[in-house]
Structure 1
Amino acid sequence: MKILTVVSHPRKNSLTFSVADRFAQGLFEAGHETEILDLYRNGFDPVLREADEPHWSSGRKIYSPEVEVEIKRMERHDALAYIFPVWWYNVPAMLKGYIDRVWNNGFAYGANKLHHSQVLWLGLAADSKAHMAKRQYEEMMNQQLNIAIASYCGISSSRVEILYDTLDSTPVVQEGLLTQAYQLGLNYEDDSNPHYNNS
């Protein structure tokens, strides 16, 4: 399977990128191919301007050159993964802008839907699992990413995985987080993993 892995973090030497590396290692060892798209180093502009505003009266408008490049990139892959820090209990503005611009009308929804078989949303949270559960933040993220975005755009299998307590710098915790990321790559296609299925 060809998987597009999109990473959103301003620092290359971040835990987010270490997680992305270990996730990719798991994918490779499971026999998958992956392309890692680094939104910051790629110079992606997350601001939606007039050229990429949805055109409701046509099936598939031609968007800006930058967006058309990213649409073609998505079309070359069978499945998707997004790796990001959880900021304000949501995806970062960079990733939200990427979705706003690239998952656009006529390509991801409307006259056409995405062809990808599945998507993984892998977030890194400084918060604890207990605190996020108390406030139902993870449930909120599941509703937004799995249903309001992935399901709306035709992806049959979508799941959110959160790595918690990411500011704990003790080696055992850090290695545990990286091991979780590796296992998520290794078992990317494992249907026994909990996920949202809209079929």
Structure 2
Amino acid sequence: MNFQDIDFAAKRPLPGWLLPSLALVLVTLSWGLYRYVALEQASAALKSQAVSQRQVLLRQSEVPVSAAPELPKERVKAINEAIVSLNTPWPALLGGIESARLGDVALTRVEPRPKDQSVLVTAQADDMGALLDFMQRMSSTPPFVRARPVRQELVVEGGMPRKQATFEADWEDRP
């Protein structure tokens, strides 16, 4: 018995676009594979370079480092005083002074003394009672713990006499 290819439909040739499409896909895949291999090689080179740089740094760190020269005591003291001065709690101090001050008291000077944790406050008012009330309110307003008068005087400005007082108030650091 003889078997033959029995097909009732005519065979169609392959479309003309199929071969160029396959060639394009093959070229694209080979280009992607080439770029992948190149990137892997570059990554390996960078890793080996980083390892060698680490080894160089480790060898350099094994070299003994000489101690820093000792600073003179005067300079150390000046640095510490500057740090204390920079750590003055300005927002708390000014907030406490302003909350203790009433409208009839005018502030003329605020001089912090961070080393002693105190502040000199000079204020003016029409009568001494208002200034003393201000001092008492300030001594009970945080961050201040006590206030004491330092100087009282009569100031004449523009023909108007006003009372002026200087108070020293101690503050307390609160975290």
Which of the five TM-score ranges fits, normalised by the shorter chain? under 0.3
Normalising by structure 2, we get a TM-score of 0.25
The structure that is helix-richer by fraction is 2
TM-score, scaled relative to structure 1:
0.23
* Larger fraction in strand: 2
- Higher Rg of the two aligned structures: 2
